[in-house]
Chain A
Amino acid sequence: MTPKQRTAPPFSPVLLAGLAMRSLPPVLLQPALDAAMTAIRRRRPGLFDRISCLENPRFLIDPVDLPFAFILVPGPENPSLRALRKIDGDMDAEDATATIRGPLLVLLDLLEGRTDGDAQFFSRDLAIEGDTEAVVALRNAVDGAEVDIVGDVLSLTGPFAQPARRAVDMAGGLFKRAHQDLEALRASVISPAMRRGKAQADRMNKLEDKVNALDRKRRKAGAGKA
């Protein structure tokens, strides 16, 4: 996947969270994630029905280029998405039915149906551990639901709607630049970052620096706009 194949840049609460709230504890992310889940549940009621064949699935979604990972519990009744800080060491893959690792942009493209899970996996941009069937079911369900994170979140009403809109709006201007940086970032981490151990820790440190740099750019751009 190259940038020119992309028609519209994907930006989402998840991406914004990663860039803007990097240094904040995960608990502060939770309202945004809850809102996203509420929106998806309301707008795509069939989504979680497609994974009803799985028993209590629990996915660890690990964007390798972010300091956060996510636990998705897509039960049909009360689906939840929770953020974890990797650095806290509370990211326990053993609890998860399956783990999906990959660069954030690849995960987002997958989520919003712009790319094909098979193709991504074949090109090794994604790594999957654990119950492969659960991952296949999740991918099919998400792909079939025509998820549009931005649209879904913007459709929200209530107390969260305003901040979400503002966040998306603010991101728009600096997204292109951030996107280019993320592409460079992605290229540097793709395959090796899926490996465990010391090498990954080193790369994660470098990643932190780069995300810090992005964060500074964001603040500058935000100030200019205001």
Chain B
Amino acid sequence: MTARAPLELVCPAGTPAALHAAVDAGADAVYLGFRDETNARNFPGLNFNRQELEEGLAYARQRGAKILVAINTFPEAGNPGPWRSAVDDSASIGVDAVILADIGLADYAVRKHPGLRRHLSVQAAASNPEAIRFYQEAFGVKRVVLPRVLTVAEIAALNKKISVETEVFVFGGLCVMAEGRCALSSYVTGVSPNKDGVCSPASHVRYEDQGDRLVSKLGDFTINAFDEDEPAGYPTLCKGRFVAQGRASYLFEEPTSLSAARLLPELMDAGVTALKIEGRQRGRAYIAKVTAAFRAAVDAVARGEPAPDLDLGAVTEGQRQTAGVYDKTWR
């Protein structure tokens, strides 16, 4: 086995504390968003103001880590201000890259700040070589975060056809729908990932104790019900239990977490540049644990060792893990 350059480890931060945790645990890059609707984790109490970003950037720089700013919702018609100022401020603060999804905003960024490195967000759902080439040629994106719809074999084939870097999700909450193409949340709550940066918002969540069961609701709809000894999950719409063909089941997806740790060697062979951990809404304990585990795994794999088993069951949703779409049988 020969040693190779390790894959870049890109970790989430919803607060400065989480940023410190990620950097200290060995993240190569930390991605984060501003405290408004310009990013896809626009949750209450989360994210960075401009001063926190400056301080976070300084903290990361001192320790050799990069900061990537996600501006990955779709700007509202007639109201480009918040999104443009997010791009402008990222440029003036001097972050390492912005992660964009909207074509109009990418066009703005490339015209206004040609020197600002641009990544394509998973929200753009660029899942094929023609789409990726479009973003590369039109807006000079240097890296594409691949939608979670491709198998490892498809990622390998794709990387042979494109000349930009690719980044793939390896851990965390798994979208089962193509990102940036899902309006399930807004159908039920009026609030959507694309427009508002929120999916299944907590403001519309209710837990009802019905004696023998705990019911989770989103808006007017029951998303799940749990018996006394069952772990209760957050009612993310696509992770709920529904009835089809007269049978109740996790129709879209079990309440599992993506964990592609065992696939790290294959992802490396597939030509992937960076690994992304989901969870800007998670606490700093989670981020520290997951970052440290993947730091060790990435370094081991780079030395030519097999991917170690990661003991991360306790921090995963419903305490179960899946390799998700990276295995073809998932479909």
Contact = CB atoms under 8 A, between A and B. Distances in A.
Classify chain B's interface size: 35 or more
A144 B16 contact: yes
Contacts of B226: 124
B281 A118 contact: yes
B39 to A, nearest CB: 14
Given A113-B284, A132-B206, A53 B233 contact: no
A190 B286 CA distance: 22
Interface in B176-207: 201-203, 205-207
Given A115-B283, A115-B285, A139-B45, A122 B318 contact: yes
B44 A145 contact: no
A140 B284 contact: no
B43 A140 contact: yes
B283 A143 contact: yes
B232 A137 contact: no
A196 interface: yes
A136 B45 contact: yes
A178 interface: no
A137 to B, nearest CB: 3
A191 interface: yes
A201 interface: no
B221 to A, nearest CB: 15
Contacts of A91: none
A133 B17 contact: no
Contacts of A113: 17, 283-285
A145 B319 contact: no
Nearest to B198: A133
B17 A50 contact: no
B209 A195 contact: yes
A146 B17 contact: yes
Nearest to A117: B283
A195 B14 CA distance: 32
A134 B44 CA distance: 8
A30 to B, nearest CB: 27
Interface string B260-284: 0000000000000000000001111
B14 A144 contact: yes
B317 interface: yes
Contacts of A140: 14-15, 43-46, 281
A105 to B, nearest CB: 14
A129 interface: yes
Contacts of B201: 133
Nearest to A44: B17
Contact of B203 (A123, A133, A196): A133
Given A115-B283, A119-B286, A144 B209 contact: no
Given A53-B45, A145-B17, A122 B319 contact: yes
A109 B231 CA distance: 19
Contacts of B228: 191-192, 195
Interface residues of A, number: 42
B317 A132 contact: no
A128 interface: yes
B229 interface: yes
B234 interface: yes
Interface majority SS (helix, strand, loop, mixed), chain A? helix
Contacts of A139: 45, 283
B315 A116 contact: yes
Interface in A167-202: 191-192, 195-196
Given A122-B317, A143-B15, A137 B285 contact: no
B204 to A, nearest CB: 8
B205 A133 contact: yes
B138 to A, nearest CB: 36
Contact of B207 (A117, A132, A146): A132
B207 A196 contact: no
B202 A132 contact: yes
B18 A144 contact: yes
Given A116-B283, A143-B18, A1 B314 contact: yes
A210 interface: no
B40 to A, nearest CB: 16
A1 B231 CA distance: 14
A119 B314 contact: yes
Contact of B229 (A110, A132, A191): A191
Interface in A112-168: 113-119, 121-124, 127-129, 131-141, 143-146
A118 B285 contact: no
A116 B15 contact: no
A51 interface: yes
Given A115-B285, A117-B283, A144 B17 contact: yes
B224 to A, nearest CB: 12
6 contacts: A113-B284, A122-B255, A133-B205, A143-B18, A144-B18, A195-B228
Interface of A: 1, 5, 46, 50-51, 53-54, 109-110, 113-119, 121-124, 127-129, 131-141, 143-146, 191-192, 195-196
Given A114-B285, A123-B319, 11 more contacts: A50-B15, A50-B46, A115-B285, A116-B283, A116-B286, A136-B43, A140-B45, A143-B14, A146-B20, A191-B228, A195-B209
